[in-house]
Structure 1
C-alpha cells in the first residue's frame, strides 16, 4: 500500500482511566508504537503478522503499511484493546483485519470475530477485504449479515461455522434473538465507524450486543471523532485501550479536474454513452469493483462502437502487457479495470479516469485518478455516484479537502447537436479522400439514370452508413403529472426536527406518504433510532424522512411515496430495539379513505 500520495501523521496515547488487563502489554508496547507510528521505515514483514496473511498482502501489491496500520497492528497483535481515531480511507480495515486473521484459530468452527458496521455497504466492503487478506488461509469462513438480504443465506453461513461475522447492528440483534448467532466463543470485536453508528441511532443496539459478548475479549473501536457517547463506550467496554490518532492530509494533483454525476446504478451505461458522445477524450481508464464487471462493461462498450478492453486479476501477464500496449499505441481507447489490475499502470495518453463504481476508501480514489494528468498534462476525473452513495462522495471530499464539482448529464439536445457536428465534420474529411472522383462519377450516373436529386442520393447514402440505427436521440418523455394533493389534517406537535425536513421536501417537491410502524413509546424508541434503522435497511438518506410522530404503541413516519417494492418488503422485516416494525401504509383516522396520508401514491405491495 503506497503512501506516496498521502501524507499522514499518527500519534499514540493511552487511556489510563481503566485498570490494565494485561500488565505485560502496556507501557513497552506503547513506547514502541510511538517510535514507529509514521510507518515510513517499516514494512508489513516487520510487524510479526502471519506469513499467509503477509503473502496475501503482497499479492494485492501492499508493501508499506499506512500510518494507522503501522500504529495499530502491533498492539492488536499483542492483545491490547485499541481506540483508533481515523477518517475513512486511511487503511483502517487492514489495520484490524490483519491482526485478527493472524491470530484466529481456523480449527474452531464458531464465530470468533465480530465486526459491527453502520451500513450494509460498509459491511460488504469489510467482508470483501477480509476475504482478500485471507486468500491463503484454508478453512476460513467470513459471513456478512445485514438487513435486506434473505435470512436463508445468512443462516446457511452460520450453520457452516463462519469464524468471522461482519454485520449491521439491527441484523446482528435479530440473529441473537432468534438464537441463530452464538457469541459465547467470541474473542475479537471491532466497532467500525462507531460515530456513524451512533448518529444513525444504533447506540442501544451496539450496547446490547456488547453486553451479550464475553467479558474478556479484544476490542478495537474506530471512529472519525470522539463524542461523549463514544468515550463512554470506550471506558465501559474496553480494557486499558491504546489510543491512536491519525491526522490525514490526502492530496490530489492540481492539474486534474474532478467532477461527479449523480446517476442511479441501472442508468450508468446510458449516462456513460451520453458523456462519451459529448466529451472529447484521448484515452481513459474506467474503474469498476469486480473482475466480472470489467468483462461485462468492456463488452457492452464494444457493442456500442467504442474500442474497449478489460484487465483484471484473472488475466495472464502476457495478455495484460498486450492490452496495455494497445492502449499506448491507440488500438484501444478505453480500459476497464479493477484497482489491483491497474497497479503500476502509467500511460501518458490517458486523458480521463472514470470511477464507474465509486471506491469505498479515499486512498483508492486518489490512486485511481492519479492515472491521468501525467507528465504535466491536464487530466479529467469523473465519478459516478448513486443516490445512496453520497456519503462516500462526502468522505472523499473531506479527506482530499477539496470539493468535487457536480456535472449535469448531457441532454438529448446536447447529444444530437454533437452528432450533427460530427456528421458534418466527417463529410469535410471525406472530401479529401482519393476515391472521391470515382464515387462522384457513380453518383452522377445514378442521378441521370433515375432522375433523383443529388441531395436525396446523399441522404440515402448517409442512412446506409448508419446501418439502420437512428441518427438522433428521441426527446425524453415528459414526467407524469402529479396527482392532486389531498387536504392535510392538523398534525400533532413536531418532533425530530421535522420543520427542517418538511422545508426540504417543500423545496425539492418530493412526494411523501405516511407509513405506520409497530414500535412506539412503550418500546422506548427515539426518532434517531427510527431514522437509523430505516435508513440503513432501506438504503435511504436522512433527507428522505419527513414528519415522525411517536404514539403509545406505534409510530407514523413520512417517507418518499415511490419506495420500491423490494425496499418496502425489506423494511417490513426490519427490527428496532428487537421489535419487528411491520411497516405498512397508514390509512389515516378511522372512516377516512384515500390511501396513505400525505397525498402520496403508495407504490409498494399492499
Structure 2
C-alpha cells in the first residue's frame, strides 16, 4: 500500500505499481499464502520499510500510528525466523491493553495458518489463569501479553523465557503512559541478552529513547507518516456491535436505511459466501465475490450489480480491486479493516463522480482503537449512530406495506383481480376488507411481520447490603471522597473505590490505571479522580461495574500488593462507629491500656 496524497484517493492501479510486493521482500511462501488468504495484496509503507531489516536480524525502532499495518510488519519476520518450534516461547510481544494483545495474537494466528508447528497464546489480565497455564503447558512459540500478567507468570515460574529469540514492544509509549515502565524494563532484563528487539511507538518521548539506547543494539530507525484522507462527500458513521449481533444489526439497518446498491467488506473468502447466503435467506438480492471466483463469474456478478438485478455485493479487499459501479450508494465495513489505507480505499467505492455516498463501520467493543486510528489517519471524525429500534423497523415495515398497495393500484391487471374479488364477495358474503387481509396473509408471513421487542435484560436482585452501600455512598462527604458522581467527559455515573496501595508502596496514578484497566477490561476514559494517600488510594470508577469485573479486580496486584478493591465508605469521622467492649479492647491491644497497674 502506498502513501496517498492528502487531497485525493489513489486508484488501485496506482497503489500496485508504487512499491514492492510482499514477494519482493523475501517472505517465506507459507506466509505469502497466508497473506493472500487475509486479502493483503501489497505491503503498507511501515511493512515495506520494516520487514527487510528485521529479516536481516537488525533491531528496529518504528515510529508509526496504530492502523498503519505495523502488526504484520513485526509478525511476519518473527514467524519466518522461527526454525525451532519446540514448546518454549521463541517470541514475546508486549502490548499495553488486553484488547490489543488479543488483536495481535489473532493476527499472528492468521499469518501462521500454513505453519502447523507454531502456536500463539495471548496472556492478559481478566482472563482465567487456568486457560493461560494450560496453553503454556501445551507449548506456545509466540506469547502476546500485557506487562502485568507477564510479570505474574514470571513470578509464578509458569513462563520460561530462557529460549526467547524475539521481543516486540508494541505501542511502547502507551505502555509507559499507563505506568508499565518498571515492568517493561524488568522483562527486558530477564530475557536472554542475545535476542532481536523491535520497538514500535507513535511518539518518541525521552523514556522511550532511553529504553531504545539501553536495551536495543544499533537499531534501525524507521518513521512512517500516514497521509491518507477520505472524500468529503462521503458520510461516515459507525455503530458499536458485538461480533455475535452483527447480522441482526445489519438487517435492522437495511430495513430502515434507504439504499440503491451496497458493497459490504469482510476479511475472508469464506465470510463472503456465508454473509451473502444469510442475506439471501432474508430476502435480499446478494452475491459474493472473492479471489476464488472465476473472472467470467466475477464480471457477470458486477454486471448484475450495475444493471440493478443485484443490490448487495459482499467482497474481500482484493476481490473488489478496480470495482467502479456508480449506483453503489453505501459501503458497509462489516469487518473493520486492520489498516487505515484499506478503509480509505474501501469507502472510496461510493461517492464517485461527484455523487454523495454513505460509509458504515461495524466496531466491536475491543476494536475501538482501530476506529481511533482511522479517525487520526484520515483527519476526519466518524459519527456514531444508534441501531434502529424495534419500533423504527416496524414503522418502516408498515410504510413499505402501504407503498406496495399504492404501487399495485397502478397495475394494468387491477381490473381483472377486482372482478374476481367482487365475484368472491357476492358468492361467499365476505367483507372486502377481510378478503384483502386474506390476500395479504398469502403474501406476508403474519407471524413475523412485526419484529419482536428485545428481551428485557435480566436484573440482579439487590440485597439489603446493596442498598446500605448505595445510601452510604450517597451521603455528603468532602469532594475527594464523594460517592456516585458524573464523569466529567462521558457523563457516566461514577463511584469512589478504595484500594489497599498508597504512597508507601510507591505507586503512581499511571500504575493504578494500567493495572485496573488491564485486569478489569476498562478503558482509560472509565477513570475519574485518583487520590493517592499514605497507605491507600481512592479511585473513581463506573458505579455499575459488573460482578465479573469485580471478581477479576479482586485478584489484581500493584507493586506486588493485592489492591483489595472495595467501595469507599468516606472519612473515618463519617463512618459508622462500632464500639468495642473495653475488656476486649484491653485484651487485644494491651499497649493502649494506659491505666496504672494495681499495687
Alignment of 1:116-265 (within 5 A): 116-263=94-241
Corresponding residue for residue 586 of structure 2: none
2:338 to 356, 360, 364: 360
Paired residues of 2:259 and 2:330 also in contact (CA < 8 A): yes
In structure 2, what is the equivalent of residue 533 of structure 1?
515
Distance 2:45 2:245 in 1: 39
Deviation at 1:266, TM superposition (A): 5.7
Structure 1 residues 289 and 182: alpha-carbon distance in aligned structure 2, compared to 1, 3 A threshold: same
Aligned match of 2:82: 104
Cα distance between partner residues in 1 of 2:103 and 2:456? 38
Q: How does 1:422-461 map to 2 (within 5 A)?
A: 422-449=400-427, 451-461=429-439
1:3 aligns with 2:7: no
Instruction: Compute the TM-score of the two structures, normalised by the length of structure 1.
Output: 0.79
Q: Select which of 78, 84, 92 maps to 2:56.
A: 78
User: Hey, what does 1:466 align to over in structure 2?
Assistant: 444
> How far off is 1:323 after superposition?
6.2
| 1:571 pairs with 2:571 | no
1:342 and 1:574, CA in 2 relative to 1: closer, same or farther beyond 3 A?
Answer: farther
Task: Return the offset for 1:167.
Answer: 1.4
CA deviations over 1:500-519 (Å, ceiling 9, x no partner): x96635x7552333444443
Does 2:77 correspond to 1:90? no
Contact 1:284–1:333 (Cα < 8 Å) also in 2: yes
- Alpha-carbon distance in 1 for matches of 2:537, 2:270: 43
Distance 1:112 1:530 in 2: 30
Cα 1:561–1:224 change in 2 (3 A) is same
SS in 2 for 1:250: coil
Mark the CA change 1:570 to 1:86 in structure 2 (over 3 Å): closer, same or farther: same
Q: CA deviation at 1:475?
A: 8.0
Whether the 8 Å contact between 1:348 and 1:372 is mirrored in structure 2 is: yes
Q: Does the aligned pair in 2 maintain the 1:5–1:367 contact within 8 Å?
A: no
Q: Which consecutive unaligned segments of at least 5 residues does structure 2 have?
A: 8-15, 579-599
Matched, 1:490 2:477: yes
| Larger Rg computed on CA atoms | 2
* 8 Å contact kept, 1:534–1:571: yes
* 1:120–1:168 Cα contact (<8 Å) kept: yes
Question: What is the CA deviation profile of residues 440-493 of structure 1, one whole-angstrom value per residue up to 9, with x for unaligned ones?
Answer: 12322343345554345434543553322365567889999x999663342475
Is the counterpart of residue 504 in structure 1 residue 487 in structure 2?
yes
Q: Taking structure 1 as reference, are residues 509 and 453 closer, same or farther at Cα in structure 2, changes over 3 Å only? A: farther
1:93 CA drift (Å) = 1.8
Could you tell me the TM-score, scaled by structure 2's length?
0.80
Change in Cα spacing, 1:416 to 1:228, as seen in structure 2 (3 Å) is: same
**Conserved? CA contact 2:49–2:222, under 8 Å:** yes
CA displacement 1:71-113 (0-9 Å, x = unmatched): 2223223322211111122222222222222322224432121
Q: CA deviation digits over 1:339-398, x for unaligned, max 9?
A: 466556555543211123333321232232233345665432111234554332221111
Counterpart for residue 523 of structure 1? 505
**Conserved 8 A contact 1:502-1:546:** no
Contact 1:44-1:64 within 8 A present in 2 as well: yes
Out of 521, 525, 532, which is 1:543 matched to? 525
Per the alignment, do residues 545 and 39 of structure 1 end up closer, same or farther by CA in structure 2, a change over 3 Å counting? farther
Contact 2:486 2:492 in 1 (8 A): no
| Distance in structure 2 (CA, Å) of the matches to 1:234 and 1:461 | 75
Distance in 1 of aligned mates of 2:557 and 2:360: 38
Q: Is the 8 A contact 1:388 1:540 kept in 2?
A: no
Contact 1:5 1:252 in 2 (8 A): no
- What are the superposed Cα offsets for residues 494-541 of structure 1, whole Å, 9 maximum, x if unpaired? 8xxx99x96635x75523334444433343222222222222333322
How many residue pairs match? The answer is: 557
Q: What is the correspondence of 1:376-455 to structure 2 with a 5 Å cutoff?
A: 377-411=355-389, 414-449=392-427, 451-455=429-433
